[in-house]
A and B are shown apart, each in its own frame.
Chain A
Amino acid sequence: MLKKEQVNEIIKIAKKYLKGLEWEIGIDSTNTGTTRFANSIIHQNMGVHRPFMWVRIINKKRIGSSTTTDLSEEGIKNLIERAINLSKSKYAPKLETSLPKKTKIEKVSKKIVISPKEREEAVAKIVEVCKKNNLNAFGVIHTINSSLAIFNSNGVNNYALLNWTYTTITAMNESASGFSFAIEKDFYKIDFKKLANIACEKALMAKNPKDIEPGKYTVFLEEPAVAEIISFLAWLEFGAKRFYEKTSLISKKIGKKITGKNITIYDDWTDKLTLGIPFDFEGVKRNKVILIKNGIAKSVVTDSYFAKKLKMKNTGHSLMQPAPWGPFPLNLVFEKGDKKKEEMLKSIDKGIYVTRFWYTRVVDPDRTLITGMTRDGTYFIEKGKIAYPIKNMRFLINIYETLENVKMISKEQKYYGEELFGVVAPALVIENFNFQSKTEY
């Protein structure tokens, strides 16, 4: 990561080569510590420092863009020269709106640096718990310090410094596996022993899974499974590009019912569970955007280009520009319900309990049809209790239809995702959830 003063120094160098031009610069600098463990030993252990800088030059309304990891003066000069050359092409993309206006936004968290020894000690705690349960420990601990700065020639001057830790644990033996995870801003708040115990408990319950036939079942989805489904809905439905092209279903349903009445989904970087950066990759302040409220389709997120095209407000959801795939909600929240998870489980007479999904892919975007597999803790529920483990299953669902069938929503939510994109999701009970086929374990 780079301190604000270091960023200012880089901008000062860059300005020497940007005279007379409109420009935008982004600098993302990340220090990552990664400790991967498998079979209860550490097998990959890494420390990486990666600064990354991009520039968007506007030269007579034509855009040139370029990126580099070389932040030496020569590297910055080359970066800018490349972008200027690209902007000279008669075919270079046109800037169809102006660069965002002056803002100064700062969000600086206290830097928390985690040493390789501290990561090893955390892994040792996990291994100890797994050993006690005659299981092997597998997983990863990523500790990240990251700074993001966006500047432009109109006076955008935004900087954020974030820390977070992402950890997953899979406790496993030859016949069963169990999964737990945590994504926390503060490494020291993670109780690694508690997480390991959850993974072990799930693995021990998963021994000798039974075969059940595919079909439609009531399901209890833990938070990571819900987050996975919603992240695919985001790619298909919540950005302004497919909305503008009228290929998303939401583009035909604004103001109309699109899911069950109990569903509210919004994007809000201020939610305390998200990693939350207050500005987007053009430097525009992120706004809270209600996407679906009480089952009614409300809106989508925009960036400067699509806000102009759609005559909508710029909601501050730009990805790194040029962004041909349009804006995207990085801080999704599925609104919590009022049920305790125990109460939700008790309500199910017969059904399937899912810990998480894996390798989900879109089968048909027109129908929000997706498929994927269950993984690391799938059980049959009988009379409100987990009765026995079952072999993993392939689901094939239409997301909107599935969101018509949500019967209960938990009070508790968890943030699950990868790096800066995640979903704050509750657990759900859903009826008529379609499992298309099964596997052998």
Chain B
Amino acid sequence: MAKELVNLVLDYLKTLNVSYGDVRLVRIQEEVIRQENGKVNLIRQEEDLGIGIRVIKNGAWGFAATALLTKEEVMKTAKLACEIAEASARLKREDTKICEIMPVKDTYQTPIEIDPFSVSLEEKINLLMECDEIMKKVKGIRKRESELYFYKKYQIFASTEDSFIEQTIYHTGGYISAEAVKGTVTGSRSYPGMIGGHYKAKGYEFIKELKLKENCERVAEEAVALTKARECPNMETDIILDGTMVAIQVHETVGHPTELDRVLGTEVSLAGTSHLTIDKLNKFQFASEIVSITADATIPGGLGTFGYDDEGVKAQKVFLIKDGIFFGYLTSRETAVVLNQKSNGTMRADSWKSIPLIRMTNINLLPGTWELEDLFADTKEGVYFESAGAPSIDDKRLNYHISSEIGWIIKNGKKTEMIRRPSFSAISYELWRKCDAICNEKYWEVWGVPNCGKGDPTQVMHVGHGASPARFRKVKIGG
């Protein structure tokens, strides 16, 4: 039925004089289970099903989408996409061009061991309750939370260029958190230590790999200890960031500013532009020479891993930063034309109702050579930042600010006193130029960010970041 509907739309588009058309039929299933202080306060299963139709007609783009999957409604929607393109065309300066690709007929599925939607609700809830019991035993804890999240997307992508691709993507993740309060001070700790948890393109086996129960006691004890910890001092010092902090820094200061659509101004209305303009490509010393960063949609387990993007372009690995030099962009079929290149396959939409945009895939800081203990031993004075908090950055991606849940003063090569919510701010490329040590592959993890916002209206995308702990010299920390 779904394939018939997609083919019906494609045949109809060919009669409407479009120069290009694509259709995405998407079904997303999500399950969220959450407990707080031993009570389940959310079990929700969601289903989002619909069709999105994108065309180039009269040299301009049009897009229309509907959740009503009847023949009559989808034909009406295809016609609306064309009317919208005709309206766009009245203000065009030149015809829209997209780079050529080879048509593809293929299927792709996230490799999983256990389908998370086949695991019983009881098993999932039992795990959350066991976590709660462990955290509850730690004296001084006021609030305990834990959550599991499962995502499955089935998509057909088909185009008037004869591509027809079916993909099934699974994402799985969760978190635990504990909160203690003393007077007006709250101590909050979570695990696995990324904003809202850790997620991977895996099945239920990932929940077992997360070792949530094994970390409950430590998380709760640290939450209590944080209520007694002092605030972050204001000073300039060396900082060591854990993998989650590095991942968010890669996201905000490398992933977003290398999106070529931003660079070309098409995200000004909300997300902004980028300081990494085309004149800086292959010339700009963005980071120290030990820093190389890739966009890699092919690595196992990343939230930005897939078979093909939402333009039917095969998943790829490309360099964005190579040996510290700004080396490349994330591109689409339309923006690649500006660079006289082929698309590197990063167009994704968060739903059938959204138009594809350039989105991060897995943006990865390649591992270095350091052992973490050697890195501490080599740092005379500094602060270790652990578990990323919320970042903030200007609309050209220069002035970057972030805090972490917990920090540790480093003195004479050792972690000493705990500090609460340390923060730092810096100009992004100046910060990367101060990077003088990156930990090796033993510490490297592909962190999942399930809530990357972009577009207007905002689309929420799942993206990944490979990172290991790293050191940055002489950074201004505190308020």
**Could you tell me which residues of chain B, from 391 to 408, have a CB within 8 Å of some CB in chain A?**
391-396, 398-399, 401, 403
**Could you tell me which residues of chain A, from 114 to 130, have a CB within 8 Å of some CB in chain B?**
115-117, 119-120, 123-124, 127
Known: A65-B44, A170-B268, A436-B425. A140 touches B399 (CB 8 A): no
**Could you tell me which residues of chain A, from 383 to 412, have a CB within 8 Å of some CB in chain B?**
392, 394, 396
Known: A50-B353, A359-B392. A127 touches B91 (CB 8 A): yes
Q: Which residue of B lies closest to A358 (CB)?
A: B395
Q: Which residues of B sit under 8 angstroms from A373, Cβ to Cβ?
A: 392-395, 399
Binary per-residue interface labels of chain A (226-246) against chain B in the complex, 1 for a CB within 8 Å, 0 otherwise: 000000000000000000011
Docked CA distance A65–B270 (Å):
33
Q: Which residues of A sit under 8 angstroms from B401, Cβ to Cβ?
A: 361, 371, 394, 436-437
Q: Tell me the minimal C-beta distance from A65 to chain B in angstroms.
A: 5
Q: Which residues of A sit under 8 angstroms from B61, Cβ to Cβ?
A: 42-45
Interface size on A, residues (CB 8 A): 88
Q: Which residues of B sit under 8 angstroms from A115, Cβ to Cβ?
A: 87
Kindly state whether residue B300 has any CB partner on chain A within 8 Å: no
Kindly state whether residue A193 has any CB partner on chain B within 8 Å: no
**Could you tell me which residues of chain B, from 33 to 57, have a CB within 8 Å of some CB in chain A?**
34, 36, 39-50
Asked if A366 and B87 sit within 8 Å, CB to CB, the answer is: no
Interface size class of B (residues with CB under 8 A): 35 or more
Q: Which residues of A sit under 8 angstroms from B50, Cβ to Cβ?
A: 50, 69
Kindly state whether residue B233 has any CB partner on chain A within 8 Å: no
Asked if A123 and B91 sit within 8 Å, CB to CB, the answer is: yes
Kindly state whether residue A340 has any CB partner on chain B within 8 Å: no
Asked if A38 and B427 sit within 8 Å, CB to CB, the answer is: no
Q: Which residues of A sit under 8 angstroms from B86, Cβ to Cβ?
A: 116
Q: Tell me the minimal C-beta distance from A256 to chain B in angstroms.
A: 14
Name the segment of B108-116, B181-189, B199-207, B439-447 touching the other chain. B181-189
Kindly state whether residue A100 has any CB partner on chain B within 8 Å: no
Docked CA distance A394–B90 (Å):
40
Q: Which residues of A sit under 8 angstroms from B88, Cβ to Cβ?
A: 35, 42-43, 45, 120
Q: Which residue of B lies closest to A436 (CB)?
A: B479
Asked if B121 and A89 sit within 8 Å, CB to CB, the answer is: yes
Docked CA distance A41–B36 (Å):
49
Q: Which residue of A lies closest to B181 (CB)?
A: A247
Name the segment of B63-71, B310-318, B467-475 touching the other chain. B63-71
Asked if B122 and A366 sit within 8 Å, CB to CB, the answer is: no
Asked if A439 and B423 sit within 8 Å, CB to CB, the answer is: no
Please give me the 5 A-B residue pairs with the lowest Cβ-Cβ distance, nearest first. Answer: A138-B268, A116-B87, A439-B399, A361-B390, A120-B87
A47-B84, A70-B69 given; 19 more Cβ-contact pairs under 8 Å: A34-B456, A35-B88, A37-B91, A38-B266, A43-B266, A45-B61, A65-B43, A67-B45, A69-B47, A86-B43, A91-B125, A93-B40, A247-B181, A322-B43, A324-B34, A363-B389, A373-B393, A437-B399, A438-B399
Can you list 30 A-B pairs, Cβ within 8 angstroms, ordered by A? A37-B269, A38-B267, A40-B93, A42-B91, A43-B61, A45-B88, A49-B77, A50-B50, A66-B46, A67-B45, A67-B47, A68-B46, A69-B48, A69-B67, A75-B49, A78-B47, A116-B84, A142-B457, A168-B269, A172-B268, A249-B184, A322-B43, A322-B44, A324-B41, A364-B403, A392-B394, A394-B392, A436-B425, A438-B399, A439-B398
| A residues apposed to B, CB below 8 Å | 32, 34-51, 63-72, 75, 78-79, 82-83, 86, 89, 91-94, 115-117, 119-120, 123-124, 127, 136, 138-140, 142, 168, 170, 172, 177, 245-247, 249, 252, 322, 324, 358-366, 371-373, 375, 392, 394, 396, 418-419, 436-441
